[in-house]
Amino acid sequence: MLKVLTLHKILSRLLAVMAITGLTACAGASSQQAIQDVARTIVYGLTLQPSGFDPHINASSELGIPLRSVYDTLVFRNPTDNAFVPGLATSWRISDDGLTYTFTLRQGVTFHDGTGFSAQAVAANLDRITNPETASQRAVFLLGPYSGHQVIDDFTISIILSETFAPLLDGLSQVYLGMASPTALATYSNEIYQFHQVGTGPYRFVDYLPGDHLTLEINPQYTWAPSFVTPAAAPAERIIFRFFEDPPTRALSIENGSAQVVGELVPADARNLAANSAISVLPEAIPGQPLQFLINTNQFPTNDERVRQALLFATNRDAIIDGIFQRFSPVAWGPLSAATAFYSPSIIGRYAYDPSQATRLLAEAGFTDNDASGYVDFGGADLQIRLLVPPWGLIPQVAQYLQEQWREVGLQVVLDQVPSRAALFEGFARGEFNLGAYYEFGIDPAFLARYFGTGGANNWTGFSDPSLDAMFSQALTATDDQTRQSLYAQAQSLIMDRALLLPIRDYVNLNGARGVTGLTFDAYGWFPLLNALSVNQPAA
């Protein structure tokens, strides 16, 4: 961890160094500048180490925290209303058949390496992302049914689709489709580029040492910020991102000043930090899926809809929100968090806590406590519910609450702890589970088809319904928001009617900050607008 120094200590050390090197005579100007440089450097805490930091290749939300400020996108979403606003494209038009998006590009923009931004640069990025050798984990899928591009002139390019795809602008506004310097892409291999990244954003990439730090420095030539960003009065000149993977260290880093900003605070720690007048706790709602447990409809006994519904009724989510999340997070009621586009409030209150209803449904399904063991029986033995429990997001603590709450209605719960994302996916693939915790983030709910559509890549519920598939298909191709709102409302209702998941809480990222002001985030919730962040100047 970095040690935070007072100005007095900084000056003392600088003077000592200058005395040793014989530079004391010029101490006046140089030491003052050095003090200012140190004062304008901040440490921003990251909470996990992704497998890679290349946004065209890797899929982690964590990588976007620094890289949102390295890369600009063709369009942005205004975080106030989610409306699309100009980015590197000043305007765009969509053909009548919805298959061609033509972008007029911003002129006078240069990449951090001096390369000019142009339609050819956009083409190079699209070619890299869609090249199978890139093995893109997220960016290529954000392009949907991408068919190709056409460079019309130096500052006009068309993206061509094979079929209509409503979420395209949403994808183009995400950091994973950020525009990289074609010169840098041609210079470095896919494996090496993550250490030499070059964008057009308000901060330039300096270095990345895996497991230790990633450094950005301000881009003084940046003059094309989106309309919703108010540039900081005293921006950080240098931002060092360090890793605080152990949750208790995050609050400690803010308390002792070894970091000025850190996210994903433990809720109990955030509650304590909020009492410190020198520290700001900033909750940020994250659109996408809530913390949820997907329910396996192909595994006994959750292959019975009544059992699935019983589990939902037997869950006291308010107690979980109080006990674990300190009321920073709202109760989740369905497959989308309330911050997500096309969220339907009609699902609010569905499956409110009702243990008597849970007991009745279990009895209807043939599960009662015949031997007075305290657990309902099946075939002469206690019925078991098996949960896959990954280690992140306070999911182990939530699982323990579920274990206790479901015991009250006679269910014995077995917690299968899985140590990693890979191990969780292996558990899902084996299918020997009743519920498993997994979720993803995003504004456009197109991702629902992957989880609940027939043959969806993440459809670990095993559920299949042609009517639901039709809703997803129509929502992807509909060109107006009203139609998409109606279709996704129907989908959310059907998913909950069939009890395909247990939603727990809408995800809220708890950020701690000290010594800075103006910490705000883009529409996706995770990614700070670093050029709006001001560093508080120390007292003279």
Question: Which pLDDT value is given to residue 39?
Answer: 52
Who wins on pLDDT, 381 or 363? 363
Q: How far apart are CA 171 and CA 75, in angstroms?
A: 9
Answer whether residue 404 shows pLDDT above 90.
yes
pLDDT surpasses 90 at 144: yes
Residue 540 has what pLDDT? 39
pLDDT tens column, 499-522 = 999 999 999 999 999 999 999 999
**Is the pLDDT at 38 greater than 90, yes or no?**
no
Closest CA to 429 of 389, 455, 460: 460
Give CA separation, 35 vs 31, 62, 534, 539, in Å.
6, 31, 17, 12
Mean pLDDT of the chain: 92
Whole-angstrom distance, CA of residue 415 vs CA of residue 520: 38
In percent, the amount of the chain with pLDDT more than 70 equals: 92
Residue 466 exposed, middle or buried by CB count within 10 Å (0-12, 13-18, 19+): exposed
Residues contacting 263, CB < 8 A, separation 6+: 45, 46, 47, 65, 250, 509, 510, 511, 512, 526
d(C-alpha 510, C-alpha 522), whole Å: 15
pTM for the full predicted model: 0.89
Rounded average pLDDT over 414-438: 96
Q: Which of 78, 63, 82 is nearest to 443 (CA)?
A: 82
Residues 6+ apart with CB under 8 A from 461: 294, 295, 296, 297, 451, 452, 500, 501
How far is Cα 237 from Cα 37, in angstroms, rounded to an integer?
7
Per cent of the chain over pLDDT 90 is: 89
Listed residue (242, 342, 241) closest to 288, CA to CA: 342
Farthest CA pair distance, the chain: 91
Q: What are phi and psi of 426, to 5 degrees?
A: -65, -40
- What pLDDT is attached to residue 538? 59
pLDDT of the residue at 3: 33
Q: How confident is the model at residue 479 (pLDDT cuts 50, 70, 90)?
A: confident
Has residue 346 got a pLDDT over 70?
Answer: yes
3-state secondary structure 487-527: HHHHHHHHHHHCCCEEEEECCEEEEEECCEECCCECCCCCC
Q: CB-side exposure of 22: number of CA atoms within 13 Å?
A: 0
Q: Are 36 and 28 in contact (CB under 8 A)?
A: no
302 pLDDT above the threshold of 60: yes
**Per-residue pLDDT band at 19 (split at 50, 70, 90):** very low
Cis amide leading into 210 (omega within 30): no
| pLDDT the model gives residue 40 | 87
Q: How is residue 205 written in tokens?
A: 């990439």
- The single-letter code of the amino acid at 443 is I
pLDDT at site 12: 36
pLDDT at 88 over 80: yes
More confident residue, 39 or 502: 502
Q: In what order do the strands lie in the sheet with 261-262?
A: 203-209, 213-218, 238-243, 41-46, 261-262, 508-513, 280-285
From 57, 61, 92, select the one nearest 443 (Cα to Cα).
Answer: 61
